[in-house]
């Protein structure tokens, strides 16, 4: 089945530094990938839709200059949290679909636990 690899699984960084999270589709090509943020005991909140070869589409309230998304190839999207602050600490998850998402379903990465100290 479709596999999405997300790396790193956990990262601790100092306030003011930047952190890059990678999301790779291992056995399929994904023209579209999604980035989510999840707070404890809550559902996933879509942050942005990453489109290969073009700019990401950000959800309302998500700072595009803070959460930089690059989708340079059909198998890799990256999310960079710039100038991280403690309030950016969260669980970040990516997903991708090999086809028309609704019928194929989405494959999720295993998530990245970011802690900013």
Give the interface segment with another protein, choosing from 12-20, 63-71, 79-87, 97-105 (CB under 8 A). Answer: 97-105
Q: How far is the CB of 35 from another protein (least distance, A)?
A: 11
Rule CB under 8 A: choose which of 56, 96, 107, 114 binds another protein.
107
Q: In Å, what is the CA distance from 17 to each residue of 61, 81, 94?
A: 22, 8, 21
Rule CB under 8 A: choose which of 43, 53, 86, 117 binds another protein.
43
Strands 32-38 and 90-96: antiparallel
Report which of 29, 32, 22 is spatially closest to residue 3, judged by C-alpha positions.
Answer: 29
Rule CB under 8 A: choose which of 11, 13, 22, 44 binds another protein.
44
Nearer residue to another protein within complex by CB, 43 or 87: 43
Do 36 and 46 contact (CB within 8 A), yes or no?
yes
Do 6 and 94 contact (CB within 8 A), yes or no?
yes
Q: In Å, what is the CA distance from 43 to each residue of 23, 70, 110?
A: 20, 24, 15
Q: Please give the residues from 2 up to 21 whose contact with another protein meets the rule CB under 8 A.
A: 4, 6
Residue 68 touches another protein, criterion: CB under 8 A: no
* Residues forming the site for another protein (CB under 8 A): 4, 6, 32, 34, 41-46, 49, 57, 59, 91, 93, 95, 97, 100-111, 113
């Amino acid at each position: 089945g479709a596999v999405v690899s997300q790396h790193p699984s956990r990262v601790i960084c100092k306030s003011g530094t930047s952190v890059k999270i990678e999301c790779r589709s291992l056995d399929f090509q994904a023209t579209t990938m999604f980035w989510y943020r999840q707070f404890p005991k809550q559902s996933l909140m879509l942050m942005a839709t990453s489109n290969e070869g073009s700019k990401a589409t950000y959800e309302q309230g998500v700072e595009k200059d803070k959460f930089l998304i690059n989708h340079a190839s059909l198998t890799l999207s990256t999310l960079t949290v710039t100038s991280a602050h403690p309030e950016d600490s969260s669980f970040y998850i990516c997903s991708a679909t090999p086809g028309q998402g609704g019928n194929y379903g989405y494959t999720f990465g295993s998530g990245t636990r970011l802690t900013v100290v």
